[in-house]
Copies of this chain bind each other. A is one copy, B any other.
Amino acid sequence: MNTFGESIKLTIFGESHGEAIGMVLDGFPAGENIDIDEIKEQLARRAPGKSEMSTPRKEADEPVFLSGLFNGHSTGAPICAIIRNTDKRSEDYHPEKPRPGHADLTAQIKYKGCSDFRGGGPFSGRLTAAMVLAGAVCKQALSRRNISVDASIIRIGPVESSDPDFDFAMRKEILDARASGDSIGGAIECSASGVPAGLGGLMFGGMESRIAAALYAIPGVKGVEFGAGFEIAKMRGSQANDPIRLEDGRIYTETNNSGGINGGITNGMPLVVRCAFRPTPSIGREQKTVDLLKHENTSLRVVGRHDPCIVPRAVPVVESMIAFCLMDVICGA
């Protein structure tokens, strides 16, 4: 199911080593100015090869808009944009030896051995570039509505953003992981400010349901929480409830344990969501796996270019999925 959304349908397609990856945004409102350079900047935030902390795979990530734009603005027709896959190395892939933690094994079972296994195929983190394409379009429209969506890293392995000299410590943690042929997990927090109250809806149309479904589509996400999140399980109601106040004609809450959402509907406070990323499954260390052809236990050492930590590059991806969800509910309101 590569299509998502209610008022706007986002479709994502492509594989890591196929011709191109891309997305279609159907239902995006007409008349929105779209700045391609700004979109390229968002893609650049996700692009690999920028530092020693990421994979040396180098992709130009040049977006090509095939439809839906005219004279610099959206037309109301579906916006399709693609990015060619240019840096496809002829690396050795061993589909018979599924990588632990990756979709290799489950993809082969589900797709009966027909999945494109090169570089993870459609399960590759490469497809998050298409998410950023869509998100960058949405962020421009949100920005005109005074809504900004900003994510940042709050954890890399044991290092937390509240720790002293977080930037240095985080960087060290990633380089240490890489040096030992390993990878490291992390977490991202995203806050959307300027979100009007009254967005979302009942039951499965609640903001948490929509956003969580979108975030869990990002490869590697294993946890999603809103506001106080799992910490709220430890609280009493008198602590957790956000006192409602009126000031200068504006209603707000003194705290934001609800993360800007009550009953699935935005309350006008910043929408706050966090998600946890697993360490990149592709590591250089030897790992136990099975040989699906020989039907025997074996081991595997993943070669090739891989990020020791996907979290830094995932920041604009998280923003993008949340931006899409916000634009979707705004168009349906």
Contact = CB atoms under 8 A, between A and B. Distances in A.
A216 B225 contact: no
Give the dominant DSSP class at A's interface.
Answer: mixed
Interface stretch (A40-48, A54-62, A138-146, A206-214): A206-214
A233 B155 CA distance: 7
Contact of A222 (B122, B236, B259, B277): B259
A82 B101 contact: no
Given A115-B75, A224-B225, A235-B185, A265 B107 contact: yes
A32 B134 CA distance: 30
Given A105-B262, A217-B203, A6 B1 contact: yes
A209 to B, nearest CB: 4
A217 B240 contact: no
B241 A100 contact: yes
13 contacts: A22-B80, A103-B265, A104-B262, A177-B237, A210-B213, A222-B232, A223-B230, A233-B278, A237-B279, A237-B281, A237-B282, A241-B283, A251-B290
A123 to B, nearest CB: 4
A270 interface: no
Contacts of A9: 1-3, 11
Nearest to A211: B216
A200 interface: yes
Contacts of A31: 111-114
Contacts of A185: 232-237, 240
B111 A18 contact: no
Interface string A37-73: 0000000000000000000000000001111101001
A226 B217 contact: no
A237 B276 contact: no
Contacts of A212: 209, 212-213, 216, 224
B1 A201 contact: yes
Contacts of A251: 105, 290
A30 interface: yes
Residue of A209, A264, A296 contacting most chain B CB atoms (<10 Å): A209
A266 B222 CA distance: 14
Contact of A182 (B217, B221, B237, B288): B237
Contacts of A102: 262-263
Interface string A239-263: 1111111100101011001110111
Interface residues of A, number: 146
Given A103-B264, A263-B107, A202 B122 contact: yes
A320 interface: no
A135 interface: no
A219 interface: yes
Given A3-B26, A288-B254, A110 B229 contact: no
Contact of A13 (B80, B109, B295): B80
Given A3-B9, A238-B182, A206 B202 contact: no
B80 A66 contact: no
